[in-house]
Structure 1
Amino acid sequence: MRAGLSTGKALLAIVGGILVLVLAQVIASLIYLVPFPHPVSIVLYYLLYIALAYLGVKLLSERILKLSLQECRIHRPRAAARWLLCAVTLPVAVSAILLCLPGEFIPGNMDAGETALIIVTAIVGTGLGAGIVEEMIFRGIIMKSLELRWGKTVAIWVPSVIFGLIHAIGAGLNAADLLLLFVGGTSVGIMFSLIVYRSGSIWSSAIVHAVWNIVMIGDILHIGTKPVENVILSYKLTLDSTLLTGGNFGVELSAAAIAGYWSVIAVIIYLSKKRSTQPLNMPTSLR
């Protein structure tokens, strides 16, 4: 078994991981200096962003922290059917609950080209770009480093708290919103962490993360208290309840969403405990 990391290297994993995230975005944005058609530039930006982040994570893990990508659970892309089912069920269930709240549908004035661009951006950028990169960094290199230094409990909680709070940057949130972000952001981080531990791969959490982003914040169907331009279809909630609507941050912090995160967490904990009580001669699988 590998010996634990030093405190310095564990902290370096946090700082270095976030630095990789920022630098990958900055360098990838240089693609916009090339006069490609706008849709092409968007796709190239996100593909370059993913590639640069992967190279940065690989350099940080193998050259500096002396951890292989496999140790950080960054294997070849794969996700079992159960996580694909979870990826679809979670946002669909949360959206269905939110659509039962008082509100009105507002169609967007999109032509075919604009609609196609929104869908492509949702899949490639909001979904795959954010899902893959954030999971490689937070549930890959950072979580593994903290696990080696302080154990699984710290490895689950610390990246989850950081993951939640980092989304407050530039969001213009008040105190109530920040509290909700701490609770909701940490909850979804814990969910992603447990998915990785249960499946043994960041790709399982990446697919759940990506599909969630595509459905909930991909501008295909926007649910919120304020109408938003450049979306295919909006559902404007007409009630004034921070708890039910997620406040100024949005429905990802709504009671329905947080309940969804903890429902997945509860199922994973139940399955893990059930597996641990099975006789040793019974074949089981984490995936």
Structure 2
Amino acid sequence: MKTKKMILSIVFSILILIISQILAVLIAEALLKVKVPEFACNIICGILYILFTYYLIKLLCKKYLNDELGNYYITKFKLESKWVVVAIFLPVIVTVCFFLFNGTFEQNAMDLNSKLSILSRGIFFTGLGAGITEEMVFRGIMLNVVEKKFNKKVAIIIPSLLFGIAHLIGIKFSLLNWALVIIAGTMAAIMLALITYESKSIWNSAIVHAVWNFVIIGGVISVGTELNHYSLYSYILESKSFALTGGEFGIEASIIAVSGYCLVSLLILLANRKKSKDRLYEI
């Protein structure tokens, strides 16, 4: 693949992600104005986000890349049990690790509608919506166009770095916090890329991504240094350690979370080394 086509494919896929999210949010906001319950709007928003992204990515493949979705790991929906297990245990174990440090639990007082709104947004938009769409773009299109231009190793690194950088958009952090977010985001993305390569499908990385988003930032239990008014429960850490709290970005950039990403990545690499003759992921 030519460099220009690779770059444009990456740019187009990012634009698709942005456009799909904007359209989904605008429709949900319009429905909210005509008195559709907020929890229903959140569900619709998440579903539309996925559908818009899917069909625009499909159009990109057909009209610009002249290829089929399946060749970009956007295959028929199928999950492997081991990745479902990873999807559940990784964020749960990371969250539980924080409970080993001194802190206090706080429950936000809110009505049923507020609780339904938080849960619906956490499951359908923050979880499934962001998880699936970002996997289509970063581990679907980007991973493959970079591989076609270079090789698998470069295809793991470049989209992962872009994934980390993408999490800085719209956020005003100090230079140190920026560096921490890029490192953490890149390591998480490397883990997701390895899952995609190992399973030859974005759906397994998507379920890991989606469940992580729901558990860690979906609004059920928030772990941080302050009370989160947009979460059902908050665990407020007494420690102000930069490494433990993840700085301004939060626990996704903490040493505990990054260790989780690295551990899963290492296990994939070790398992692949034992069974693969060509050692595709040896780095």
TM-score of the superposed pair, with normalisation by structure 1: 0.93
Find the aligned partners of 2:68 and 2:12 in 1 and give their Cα distance: 16
Cα pair 1:184 1:258 within 8 Å, conserved: yes
Cα pair 1:225 1:245 within 8 Å, conserved: yes
1:26 aligns with 2:8: no
Q: Which runs of 5+ in 1 are unaligned?
A: 279-287
Residue in structure 2 matched with residue 15 of structure 1 by the alignment: 11
Q: How does 1:272-287 map to 2 (within 5 A)?
A: 272-276=272-276
| Higher deviation after alignment, 28-37 or 162-171 | 28-37
Q: Which runs of 5+ in 2 are unaligned?
A: 279-283
Cα pair 1:220 1:232 within 8 Å, conserved: yes
Cα pair 2:39 2:113 within 8 Å, conserved: no
Find the aligned partners of 1:38 and 1:117 in 2 and give their Cα distance: 6
Q: How does 1:251-266 map to 2 (within 5 A)?
A: 251-266=251-266
Cα pair 1:110 1:230 within 8 Å, conserved: no
- Match of 2:69, SS? coil
Q: How does 1:65-214 map to 2 (within 5 A)?
A: 65-214=65-214
Find the aligned partners of 1:27 and 1:269 in 2 and give their Cα distance: 39
| Higher deviation after alignment, 87-96 or 108-117 | 108-117
| Higher deviation after alignment, 112-121 or 237-246 | 112-121
- Match of 1:70, SS? helix
Find the aligned partners of 2:120 and 2:38 in 1 and give their Cα distance: 12
Residue in structure 2 matched with residue 246 of structure 1 by the alignment: 246
Find the aligned partners of 1:131 and 1:223 in 2 and give their Cα distance: 20
Find the aligned partners of 2:23 and 2:211 in 1 and give their Cα distance: 26
Amino acid at match of 1:223: V
Find the aligned partners of 2:182 and 2:122 in 1 and give their Cα distance: 25
Shift of residue 62 of structure 1? 1.6
Find the aligned partners of 1:276 and 1:15 in 2 and give their Cα distance: 33
Shift of residue 117 of structure 1? 2.1
Find the aligned partners of 2:229 and 2:220 in 1 and give their Cα distance: 11
| Higher deviation after alignment, 13-22 or 39-48 | 39-48
TM-score of the superposed pair, with normalisation by structure 2: 0.94
Find the aligned partners of 1:85 and 1:18 in 2 and give their Cα distance: 30
Amino acid at match of 1:18: I
Residue in structure 2 matched with residue 282 of structure 1 by the alignment: none
Q: Deviations over 1:116-159 (max 9, x none)?
A: 22112111111100000000000001110110111111110111
Shift of residue 111 of structure 1? 2.2
Amino acid at match of 1:91: P
Amino acid at match of 1:208: V
Cα pair 2:72 2:144 within 8 Å, conserved: yes
The percentage of counterpart residues that share the same residue type is 39
Q: Deviations over 1:197-224 (max 9, x none)?
A: 0011000000000000010000100001
Shift of residue 277 of structure 1? 5.5
Shift of residue 43 of structure 1? 1.4
Find the aligned partners of 1:100 and 1:276 in 2 and give their Cα distance: 38
Q: Deviations over 1:88-128 (max 9, x none)?
A: 11001111111111211111112223222211211111110
Amino acid at match of 1:10: M
Amino acid at match of 2:6: A
Amino acid at match of 2:18: V
Residue in structure 2 matched with residue 281 of structure 1 by the alignment: none
- Match of 1:171, SS? coil
- Match of 2:70, SS? coil
Find the aligned partners of 2:276 and 2:43 in 1 and give their Cα distance: 44
Find the aligned partners of 1:22 and 1:73 in 2 and give their Cα distance: 21
How many residue pairs are counted as aligned between the two chains? 274
